[in-house]
Amino acid sequence: MPDRITMQVTRYRPEEESGESVQEYEVPCPKDWVVLDGLNYIKDRLDGSLSYRWSCRMGVCGSCGMTVNGEPKLTCETFLSEYGSGPVRVEPLKNFPVIRDLVVEIGDFMRKLVMVKPWMIRDQEKPVSEGEYLQTPNELDEYKQFSMCINCMLCYSACPIYGLEPGFIGPAAIALAQRYNLDSRDEGSAERLDVLSEHDGIWGCTFVGECTEVCPKHVDPAGAIQRYKLTAALAGLKSFVLPRSAR
Amino acid sequence: MAKRSLEPMLWLLFSAGGVVSALLVPILVLLLGIAFPLGWLSAPNYEHLFAIVRHPLTRVALFGVCVLSLFHGAHRFRFTLYDGLQIKHLNELINLFCYGGAIVLSIWAGYLLWRLS
Amino acid sequence: MSEHLRDHPAEHPGYTEYHPRWLRRRPSTYWWLERRAYVSFITRELSSIFIAWFIVYLLLFIRAVSRGDASYQQFLAWSRHPVVLVLNVVTFLFVVFHAFTWFNLAPKAMVVHVGGKPLPASVISASNYAAWVAATAFVVWLLLGG
């Protein structure tokens, strides 16, 4: 086990340069250090100008997503020791515009998340006096996996369609829509269908499956999307065959 | 009311075609394209083969297999062109080529199977 | 503009505000070679070409059969031509790859509930494979036996 490792970090300083460059830093490599520890060491001791996002450092906030040796990873969960003697290449998350160094612009993702209406939609709200909505463990299991998303965007980074297709809503947003569609307390499936079934909404997905592979929370967005394709297609068929029974 | 897009229907055709082609095409390629020409397995004698092919059930089944597989292939190839070659701006041409091709070949299939004496 | 963008995001899919200094990296033309998973994916997608070819071959086969024994034998002879044979072998490989990937992924789209709980994915896959074996056996029996 080497006690130092080289980190090759992508830099982009818009006020000084028009493109990206790579800067190398040598950092200590204790066996419990993660890539984020390396970046923090760089910022604290070697080069204070390095910019990057992080927060909880324990894999629940979704802030520290970056491309490490070509793979989208949460840098707080990726051990430096995984890379042997190195070097470890750290780049900003793919498929997003870069604001500076390792910081990417996530506005498109935030807008798409809102587009799928990720909140409980009911025809009639139950007044508090009538008590809680009851849900069985089986009903909870239907959507629980899709509720684990931490919005880290690793799936968007892994998805080639998101990189190619501006209108594609993307794995996390669709999985979140499913989290609500499959929740027994929700009644908003029809409303979400309108947004999702737009041409590029979900139909751009060709089931590459990389989104599920990189998800640190095992949400399985690919599964959510395929399942939703079937639901949406059958709904479309039904409205075609029985137009009057649709809204 | 979802905007009337053809995409959901095309996806259903693609899915049905995927199932049908996955179930039946491998063995058909093996037998019709490799084993019979090479004589690995004694190809059925002509009368037997003709009797099977001209049976109305076979003709309907074959038509189904052809149409669904063609649309499956067309749909998948269309997206391969969009994403693989990044030529989505030519989407009208691509759609015409893919689905148009599938329609033309389906018509040919229908004609052949109908006209089987 | 940004107010309209904020309040009506669905009307501007994929839009990011113009900012001259944000670095936008376009996917490479060869993005599908960058990861093993992408190569595997594009191979699977290319099976579509071979499915289409086989249907053409099948229709030619049917046409040959419909024209009599001599025509059928001639067709078989044509199929022995190295180019056609190699094409069909390659087609067979791609089509089998399609079948395996399809049956392995099918459970993702099809969630079947029995008694309130979804069936495990392995059950759905297994039943797909069983159907594949049955369909194959049926075709073999039909063409070689019956």
pLDDT tens, position by position, A122-178? 998 889 999 999 999 999 999 999 999 999 999 999 999 999 987 899 999 999 999
Q: CA of C106: which chain A residue's CA is closest?
A: A226
Q: Which amino acid is at C91?
A: T
In this complex, the residue of A108, A160, A167 whose CB is nearest that of residue C27 is A160
3-state secondary structure of A189: helix
Binary contact (B9, A199; C-beta < 8 A): no
Query: Which residues in chain B are contacts of C11 at CB distance < 8 A?
Result: none
B1, part of any domain: no
B60, part of any domain: yes
B40, part of any domain: yes
Beta bridge partners of A84: none
Instruction: List the single best residue of B23, B48, B65, B116 to mutate versus C (max C Cβ within 10 A).
Output: B23
Q: CA of C70: which chain B residue's CA is closest?
A: B46
C14, part of any domain: yes
User: A113 with A100, same domain?
Assistant: no
Q: What pLDDT shows up at residue B1?
A: 37
Query: Which residues in chain A are contacts of C38 at CB distance < 8 A?
Result: 160, 208, 210
In this complex, the residue of A206, A229, A240 whose CB is nearest that of residue B83 is A206
B2, part of any domain: no
Mean per-residue pLDDT of chain A: 92
Mean pLDDT of B19-41: 93
The angle formed by the CA atoms of residues C4, C8 and C11, to the nearest 5 degrees, is: 105
B4, part of any domain: no
Query: Which residues in chain B are contacts of A194 at CB distance < 8 A?
Result: 1-3
pLDDT tens, position by position, B57-99? 999 999 999 999 999 999 999 999 998 888 878 888 999 999 9
Q: What pLDDT shows up at residue A227?
A: 94
Domain enclosing residue A84, as ranges = 4-104
Q: Cα–Cα distance between B9 and A205 in angstroms, integer?
A: 15
Residue B3 pLDDT > 50, yes or no?
A: no
Query: Which residues in chain B are contacts of A198 at CB distance < 8 A?
Result: 3, 5
What's C55's domain CATH number?
Answer: 1.20.1300.10
Structure tokens at B31: 């037998």
Q: Cα–Cα distance between A135 and B104 in angstroms, integer?
A: 52
What's A42's domain CATH number?
Answer: 3.10.20.30
How many residues belong to chain C? 146
Q: What pLDDT shows up at residue A8?
A: 97
B104 in Cβ contact with B96 (< 8 Å)? no
* Burial group, residue C108, by CB count within 10 angstroms (0-12, 13-18, 19+): buried
Residues of chain A with pLDDT under 70: 1, 199, 244-247
Query: Which residues in chain B are contacts of C42 at CB distance < 8 A?
Result: 80, 84
What's B101's domain CATH number?
Answer: 1.20.1300.10
B82 CB within 8 Å of a chain C CB: no
Query: Which residues in chain A are contacts of C46 at CB distance < 8 A?
Result: none
Q: Cα–Cα distance between C87 and B40 in angstroms, integer?
A: 18
C63-102 burial code (b ≥16 CB/10 A, e <16): bbbbeeeeebeebbeebeeeeeeebbeebbebbbbbbebb
User: A117 with A151, same domain?
Assistant: yes
User: A100 with A111, same domain?
Assistant: no
Label the pairing between strands A98-100 and A103-104: antiparallel
* Burial group, residue A32, by CB count within 10 angstroms (0-12, 13-18, 19+): exposed
User: A195 with A222, same domain?
Assistant: yes
B44, part of any domain: yes
Q: What pLDDT shows up at residue B87?
A: 82
ipTM greater than cut 0.95? no
**What DSSP string runs through A126-188?**
PPGGG-PPP--HHHHHHHHGGGG-----HHHHH-HHHHH-TT---HHHHHHHHHHHT-TT---
Structure tokens at C120: 């495990």
Counted domains in chain A: 2
Q: What is the separation of C-alpha A196 from the centre of its chain, rounded to a whole number of angstroms?
A: 17
Q: In what order do the strands lie in the sheet with A4-11?
A: A21-28, A4-11, A88-91, A65-68, A71-74
Q: What pLDDT shows up at residue C2?
A: 63
pLDDT along chain C (146 residues), means of 10: 66 68 89 93 96 97 92 94 96 97 91 85 92 95 81
Q: CA of B84: which chain C residue's CA is closest?
A: C32
C117, part of any domain: no
Q: What pLDDT shows up at residue B74?
A: 97
In this complex, the residue of A160, A161, A247 whose CB is nearest that of residue B1 is A247
C97, part of any domain: yes
Counted domains in chain C: 1
Of A95, B85, A210, A96, nearest in space to C30 by CA: B85
Q: What pLDDT shows up at residue A17?
A: 86
Domain enclosing residue C32, as ranges = 2-109
Residues with Cβ within 8 Å of C75's Cβ and at least 6 positions away in sequence, in order, are C60, C61, C64, C65
Q: Cα–Cα distance between C26 and B102 in angstroms, integer?
A: 33
Binary contact (B8, A237; C-beta < 8 A): yes
